[in-house]
Structure 1
Amino acid sequence: METKNLHFLSLTLLSLLHFSASFTPLDNYLLNCGSLSNTSLFNRVFAGDSYKPGSGSISLTNQNPPPNSPALYHTARVFTRISSYSFGIKKYGTHMVRFHFSPFVAQGFDLKAANFSVSVDRLVLLTDLHVRDNVLREYIMKIDTNVLEIVFTPLDNSGFAYVSAIEVFSAPEDLIVDYGAKLVSADVVEYKNLSSQVLETIYRINVGGSKLTPFNDTLWRDWVPDVDYLVLKSAAKRASTSNIPNYQRGGATREIAPDNVYMTAQEMNRDKAITDARFNITWEFPVGSNSGHLVRLHFCDIVSPALNLLYFNIYINGYAAYRDVDLSVLATNELASPLYIDFVVDSDVSGVIQISVGPSDLSSSVRMNAILNGAEIMRMVNVSHLQTEAVSKKKSIWILVGTVVGGFVILCFAIVAFLLALKRRKKKLKPAPAESVGWTPLRIYGGSSHSRMSERTALASPGPNGYHFLKIPFAELQLATNNFDKNLIVGSGGFGMVYKGVLRDNTKVAVKRGVPGSRQGLPEFQTEITVLSQIRHQHLVSLVGYCEEQSEMILVYEYMEKGPLKKHLYGSGLPTLSWKQRLEICIGSARGLHYLHTGFAQGIIHRDIKSTNILLDENYVPKVADFGLSRSGPCLNETHVSTGVKGSFGYLDPEYFRRQQLTDKSDVYSFGVVLFEVLCARPAVDPLVDREQVNLGEWAMQWQKKGMLEKIIDPHLVGQIKPGSLKKFGETAEKCLAEYGADRPTIGDVLWNLEYALQLQESRPRREVHEDGDINELPTNTIVPGDPATNARTEEGDGNGSLEINTSQVFSQLMTNDGR
């Protein structure tokens, strides 16, 4: 390998910049590759490089450069074999290393066709690099050698590598520090030794501001606006100040981020009179899947008139990364003093990092707000170390020895296991008859369509053989999903992505894949298997199987063609559901939930009933899904289960939230919110409407109590709903949302009332006065079962003076002892 040592004088032209106190790096190499002459970019002089002829390098010049393109990108150094640059390092510590690539065609070389790797200080930072447009790749890394070597290695059949410009310069000592970073996961803990990581810059965002070029930054960085990454632009409002930030107290410096980053921000948009509304501002950044990232968030309180008025929470990928942030305290009681907070977080399988800020519980209704001034996302490079030939040979010897020894040990284990299996087979007891089995074993694909009632707890632990009959090999799921093709993604959630798949027997399935290698969501994964392996019901989503090979957590369900109920109510543009369809969906969902509550000795409490967890098949038949938060109900001598609060905002039972005492009535409350969601076709929580309308349950209850529910129904349903049906439906939802669980009906009573509402909708009107004086529209020539709301029953005589209740046409679902 031919190496050309380059010793350039550090350039100190920073005086041209308009900063009063500029940063001057001790090591400062700026290299114009492929040229002997100097050129400048943003008032920084890049010196020409030199390689002697025959060294395996070629200098290229673009004869037809694009208009207005920097001269730095008009040349390139091409390497036809492994080649390197070397830089003398005067000061150990954190450095910034940047590579500029600008592809063009010259002298028979099409730089877009280059395929190569780049290593720095024996660490491979870039590999299989194909550059299609002007690209800047920046790395922040600790250097502790006297000479820094950057090696370019051509790969495959391209035969060459290239580079347009290189920067190597010292970074400020406090740019990356080893303390204070928070590792964001289920539990937020401190992340140590951050400076030892190699960081690749992915995003630098000037939140609420305009694009900043290296002219505006003492470390010559670009910052881009945040608008393209805001999930809901109307939730945010720009804020700005003309006052120069006070850098004395907060801990940040102009090298951490320039003035302009701290002089602009996004804050909560509260202009639509939603003073008490709680909502988040959210940004999403595509970063690639399954990598660690440093997320640096910049703050400067430019929105508060005084100290200690702004409290907010920070969320990253759905985790509460930092609660009750008080910038006044963090900035040591100085308003508008810049600071930053570092977080270390893994990107999930979706390849997106989501950052949110929202109000804290400490926020007053008057001062409820949250802000963000800037954001940086840097990938923690999973570097591979280059090895010398001697090290490689030594490693190969140990691999050979390990293989031989390991093979012998495995053979011994196999022999022992075989002998034990023979012994166990001789002693194996006669299997119990089918009638004694609590549940019919499931087929590996699809499962049995029949099951028997088990008297044991619904969430009992698996037996000695586990749930092996449900296991599906990982290779089978790879085949079913075309190796988890992104085009087959049909949904996503906190657990992971959901793919549409087809098994070998042509069974359509939904494959929910957790983040590979992560244990996040393990309790939910195990609970889902435990619950769904023991139940079968036409209104509960069936578990086809699961996979836990290769650190994977994958759940496989029957495929629900129409997706979640929520999509059919609002926001997706799908055809509108008729009132009859909506009633039938509510009835089916209630049947599934009733089976959960009554089908076992203790019952099962779902804990996360909402419109996204009610799925529809191709015929719009509903099935309750997502049992990851489910719990066994209380024992016979208990009234509740004491447990931490779980659920979804807007659907959560207030009594459960206050007392942390869970009962099946908590599911009833959530289902009541779903009923209003179905009727009004709007989200359970909508932060962008008027204040009194934000919480659907509270808002709908106000209209229901005024007897004017028809004023807020889905406009598509106007004129469709018969008054009697609407009245019964509204009363049912109202009772579900009673403040105290003891005042709410059972889900069986809810089901009864919904069936009644459907009969009132489908019947021809006939006026009949009830004992309570109400006049309802009743079906002609139809026997109506007892209405739990009035405790009135319609009975028929047999002509001999005896009476019998006609139950032949309705509620067969409730007549069996097992609650089906």
Structure 2
Amino acid sequence: MIDWRNIGLFICALSIFPGVCFCATFVPEDNYLIDCGAPASTSVGERNFTSDSSSKDLLSTQDHIIATTTIKLNTSSDDAPLYQTARIFTGSSKYSFPIKQRGRHWVRLYFFPFSYEKYNLSAANFTVATQDHVLFSSLNMQKGPVLKEYSVNVTSDTLVVAFNPSQNSTAFLNAIEVVSVPDDLIGEDASALDPPEAYSGLVSQAMETVWRVNMGGPTVTPLNDTLQRTWIPDQGFLLEPNLASFYSNIPGVKYEKGGLVTENTAPPTVYGTLTEMNSTSDPRNIFNVTWQFNVNPGFQYLVRLHFCDVVSKSLNELYFKVYIDSKLAMASVDLSLYGNNALGVPQYKDLVTPLADKNTLRVSIGPSGENLNYPNAILNGLEIMKINNSMGGLIGGGASVASTSGSSSNKIGMIVGVIVGVFVALVLAGVFFVLCRKRRRLAQRKSKTWVPLSVNDGTTSHTMGSKYSNGTTLSAASNCEYRVPFLAVQEATNNFDESWVIGIGGFGKVYKGELSDGTKVAVKRGNPRSQQGLAEFRTEIEMLSQFRHRHLVSLIGYCDERNEMILIYEYMEKGTLKSHLYGSGLPSLSWKERLEICIGSARGLHYLHTGYAKAVIHRDVKSANILLDENLMAKVADFGLSKTGPEIDQTHVSTAVKGSFGYLDPEYFRRQQLTEKSDVYSFGVVLFEVLCARPVIDPTLPREMVNLAEWAMKWQQKGQLEQIIDSTLAGKIRPDSLRKFGETAEKCLADYGVDRPSMGDVLWNLEYALQLQEAVAQGEPEENSTNMIGELSPQVNNFNQDASASVPLFEGSNVDDLSGVSMSRVFSQLVKSEGR
């Protein structure tokens, strides 16, 4: 909502910047400016508002009263005279505007709820609607003047704006504008944020202007905007004003002749002023500048970002990122790429948010990795527009156009409909209650006996012996029901004792638990407010109920009683790999232990990618999802985001982007095309995380170090990876082992999936890196570990001649599950001297 109480006169820039022209370049075909209840026309700046008394053909009602007030508004705004009179509607009324040119139009409504005789307009309860959209509801109207601006697409020869007061109430209006808008002001397409994909269909949507902000500059009034818009300063929206500074260079704005961005998009006063990072004290400081705006939950918003680089001294000097809430909206923005490689060329970006689930929206800007010498980020202007909901409304509560008709016949029909609807609802509720009781009894009978997935690879049977079961023993192979009674989960976790919490993730809290037979378990309890929900819960159950592998965490059971979403896993004594690398104070892992953990994780992922007819893509590979048992054996966990891979005749799965920031495959992010190679990229980040023992994103570090993958790749490509390894490993890694490990991680992080190795190749090379490390640990005399392979593996020279020679060594073992076999024994039969 635009609050006009704080709008002041803008100091005319023409006298300072004679080269800047504010003359109107757009002449609207339809231009209705109506002052409601005024005895004569009213001048507002250079615009003339006609009295609706002299335009009686526009107004269709007999139930109205003209009201006037002598209250003087505490504002210097030019439009103050418009609020001195109002037309009060005691019944349903409408204005009908003949439309000369169909298309997008402004509809601006002016309200000032003063008191007049027996009418207290502050208490007026009414709605305002067009033929297709409900625009406004008077609930909780503020006491001062209010301007509501809407942008609607008119598809008929008449635009009707109807006012429908509630029973025993009134409606009112001080002034109204219906004005044509340039066709290209709001296009058809934008970019959606979640999922990140193309968004189309904006032309047909109605929108309400919620905020229109001039970053780094003063108020811009309708007098200084070709489309009579108001832009307010941004200072009041900054969360940390000390992090921001303001810059002005209006003469530096250069609209391209024939370009898409014109003064109609935003005036030079907006594009010529900006808010930037306040980096003067220390240019190496890395932070974001953030604004916060109030919005209404339950709607999507069009966020238009205005940019114009009038601050840089040369091209390719400024790179930055933009975030909306916690989502990366724009990465590595280089404004000099626009406008034929010229500075000062205005640009804008349209983004559509997901449905808002809270009453605030944040916009942040921060530096990107390219501008290392002087990190900076800028924003010139911002518009936030509410998009109508699926019922065509722009007010809460799901109101539709039909519900605002206000006619007597409709009211009678509505009453009858409600009575019939209530009766039918009661009947259906009774039937539903009986069915639910029946279903609950069946479920209770079923839940008396439950048998979990075995934690012993399905080779033995397992009895829980819970007091809620009858102790029946079944093998996991024959088991088809894993539902656990809620009471059994409560008992196992000491009624979800907070002191038993061992972790908190995106899904919810994880508790340590113990079943009645002494089996230790990990219990993950879903948080109702979590962004991860029923879909992830079902996926986890479906995926883990199929898997049997030493390096995948086993599912014991689940519980979905009482609207709970609870998953029960085998307990992993040593916790997450992440906790052993940094942040928890645990003893440092040796290089051999880290390699074996990486190898175990790679085996689990390799099994996911190849163990079934269709690959299973994990989609959330990270160190926090790699768990360790009491022997530090690694197991991949958390399959809530997993996805089955493409069909045989396809190369990828098209899906919304999901994953964890810092690990996300950039190609997947750009194209929304998922393959197994997305897991490979994430695993490559984990490899560098294991080597460097630091977070993948750490904003407290200098800019060039914030992103681990980018930072480590620079050192790897310089051949100096040893400079950034965990200090506890210094001097303890065999150079050739480090070289092979670094090469493997580098290949995983290739920009394009086709250039990345498979998880089988990654596994092969990690085993090679371990063998190179163990060659020294076993006291081999030869310094060149690459040359040692021949001595360590006498069969390797014959490997290409008889690839099947190694098969007898795996007798009784799954080729995908080799943890029980001696590492060097397996490796000596498989490795080529150069690795893969």
Structure 2 residue aligned with 1:670, among 643, 662, 685? 685
**Counterpart Cα distance in 2 of 1:707 and 1:17:** 58
Deviation at 1:165, TM superposition (A): 3.5
Asked if 2 retains the 8 angstrom alpha-carbon contact of 1:684 and 1:696, the reply is: no
Structure 1 residue aligned with 2:147, among 120, 131, 136? 136
Who is 2:586 aligned against? 579
SS of structure 2 residue aligned to 1:579: coil
Residue by residue over 1:496-521, the C-alpha shift from the partner in whole angstroms, topping out at 9 and shown as x without a partner, is xx67799xxxx9722477989x9xx9
Opposite residue 27 of structure 1, the aligned amino acid is: N
Deviation at 1:116, TM superposition (A): 2.2
Matched, 1:99 2:109: yes
**Counterpart Cα distance in 2 of 1:132 and 1:351:** 18
Deviation at 1:291, TM superposition (A): 2.6
**Counterpart Cα distance in 1 of 2:64 and 2:188:** 45
SS of structure 2 residue aligned to 1:673: helix
**Counterpart Cα distance in 2 of 1:510 and 1:531:** 18
Question: Within 5 Å, which residues of 2 pair with 1:310-709?
Answer: 336-340=344-348, 342=350, 344=352, 346-347=354-355, 349=357, 373-382=380-389, 383=393, 384-385=400-401, 386-387=404-405, 388=407, 509-511=525-527, 527-534=539-546, 540=553, 577-580=584-587, 593=601, 596-597=604-605, 602=611, 606-611=618-623, 613=625, 626-628=638-640, 630=642, 650-651=662-663, 662=677, 669-676=684-691, 678-679=693-694, 683=698, 688-689=703-704, 695-698=710-713
Aligned-residue identity in percent: 27
CA 138–707 in structure 1, closer or farther in 2 if over 3 Å, else same: closer
For structure 1, the 5+ residue unaligned runs are 1-13, 409-430, 456-462, 473-489, 493-497, 571-575, 714-720, 757-768, 775-787, 792-812
Deviation at 1:218, TM superposition (A): 3.0
Who is 1:213 aligned against? 221
Calculate the TM-score normalised by the size of structure 2.
0.55
CA 451–206 in structure 1, closer or farther in 2 if over 3 Å, else same: farther
Who is 1:800 aligned against? none
Asked if 1 retains the 8 angstrom alpha-carbon contact of 2:89 and 2:172, the reply is: no
Asked if 1 retains the 8 angstrom alpha-carbon contact of 2:581 and 2:589, the reply is: no
Residue by residue over 1:744-772, the C-alpha shift from the partner in whole angstroms, topping out at 9 and shown as x without a partner, is 6689979999xx9xxxxxxxxxxxx9736
Structure 1 residue aligned with 2:208, among 195, 200, 203? 200
Structure 1 residue aligned with 2:259, among 250, 269, 279? 250
Matched, 1:119 2:123: no
**Counterpart Cα distance in 2 of 1:163 and 1:582:** 73
Question: Within 5 Å, which residues of 2 pair with 1:254-273?
Answer: 254-265=263-274
Question: Within 5 Å, which residues of 2 pair with 1:174-189?
Answer: 174=183, 176=185, 179=188, 188-189=197-198
Deviation at 1:204, TM superposition (A): 1.8
**Counterpart Cα distance in 1 of 2:714 and 2:770:** 25
**Counterpart Cα distance in 1 of 2:585 and 2:33:** 70
SS of structure 2 residue aligned to 1:296: strand
Opposite residue 165 of structure 2, the aligned amino acid is: T
Asked if 2 retains the 8 angstrom alpha-carbon contact of 1:633 and 1:663, the reply is: no
Who is 1:153 aligned against? 165
Opposite residue 213 of structure 1, the aligned amino acid is: T
**Counterpart Cα distance in 1 of 2:505 and 2:175:** 43
**Counterpart Cα distance in 2 of 1:336 and 1:661:** 43
**Counterpart Cα distance in 2 of 1:652 and 1:147:** 48
**Counterpart Cα distance in 2 of 1:733 and 1:326:** 34
SS of structure 2 residue aligned to 1:248: coil
Asked if 1 retains the 8 angstrom alpha-carbon contact of 2:453 and 2:545, the reply is: no
**Counterpart Cα distance in 2 of 1:664 and 1:118:** 52
CA 234–175 in structure 1, closer or farther in 2 if over 3 Å, else same: same
**Counterpart Cα distance in 2 of 1:735 and 1:333:** 37
Who is 2:304 aligned against? 296
For structure 2, the 5+ residue unaligned runs are 1-9, 15-21, 54-58, 394-399, 428-449, 487-503, 512-522, 749-756, 783-788, 793-817, 823-836
Opposite residue 213 of structure 2, the aligned amino acid is: I
**Counterpart Cα distance in 2 of 1:705 and 1:291:** 51
Opposite residue 695 of structure 1, the aligned amino acid is: E
**Counterpart Cα distance in 1 of 2:329 and 2:349:** 10
Asked if 2 retains the 8 angstrom alpha-carbon contact of 1:736 and 1:744, the reply is: yes
Opposite residue 29 of structure 1, the aligned amino acid is: L
Opposite residue 509 of structure 1, the aligned amino acid is: R
Moved more, 258-267 or 71-80: 71-80
Opposite residue 686 of structure 2, the aligned amino acid is: F
Deviation at 1:168, TM superposition (A): 1.0
CA 648–261 in structure 1, closer or farther in 2 if over 3 Å, else same: same
Who is 1:795 aligned against? none
Opposite residue 299 of structure 2, the aligned amino acid is: S
CA 452–86 in structure 1, closer or farther in 2 if over 3 Å, else same: same
SS of structure 2 residue aligned to 1:347: coil
Residue by residue over 1:465-493, the C-alpha shift from the partner in whole angstroms, topping out at 9 and shown as x without a partner, is 9x996999xxxxxxxxxxxxxxxxx987x
SS of structure 2 residue aligned to 1:242: helix
SS of structure 1 residue aligned to 2:259: coil
Opposite residue 139 of structure 1, the aligned amino acid is: Y
**Counterpart Cα distance in 2 of 1:308 and 1:379:** 34
Deviation at 1:139, TM superposition (A): 0.9
**Counterpart Cα distance in 1 of 2:269 and 2:422:** 59
Who is 1:803 aligned against? none
**Counterpart Cα distance in 2 of 1:132 and 1:72:** 19
Deviation at 1:727, TM superposition (A): 11
Asked if 2 retains the 8 angstrom alpha-carbon contact of 1:262 and 1:374, the reply is: yes
Who is 1:31 aligned against? 35
Opposite residue 382 of structure 2, the aligned amino acid is: A
Who is 1:414 aligned against? none
**Counterpart Cα distance in 1 of 2:337 and 2:665:** 35
Asked if 2 retains the 8 angstrom alpha-carbon contact of 1:118 and 1:125, the reply is: yes
Matched, 1:20 2:28: no
- State the superposition RMSD in angstroms: 7.8
SS of structure 1 residue aligned to 2:584: coil
**Counterpart Cα distance in 1 of 2:320 and 2:373:** 14
Opposite residue 698 of structure 2, the aligned amino acid is: P
CA 333–174 in structure 1, closer or farther in 2 if over 3 Å, else same: farther
CA 69–324 in structure 1, closer or farther in 2 if over 3 Å, else same: closer
**Counterpart Cα distance in 2 of 1:534 and 1:263:** 60
SS of structure 2 residue aligned to 1:580: coil
Deviation at 1:531, TM superposition (A): 1.9
Asked if 1 retains the 8 angstrom alpha-carbon contact of 2:552 and 2:637, the reply is: no
Matched, 1:86 2:89: no
Calculate the TM-score normalised by the size of structure 1.
0.55
**Counterpart Cα distance in 1 of 2:566 and 2:294:** 27
**Counterpart Cα distance in 2 of 1:616 and 1:30:** 72
Asked if 2 retains the 8 angstrom alpha-carbon contact of 1:569 and 1:682, the reply is: no
SS of structure 1 residue aligned to 2:587: helix
**Counterpart Cα distance in 2 of 1:44 and 1:568:** 69
Deviation at 1:126, TM superposition (A): 2.1
Asked if 2 retains the 8 angstrom alpha-carbon contact of 1:650 and 1:695, the reply is: no
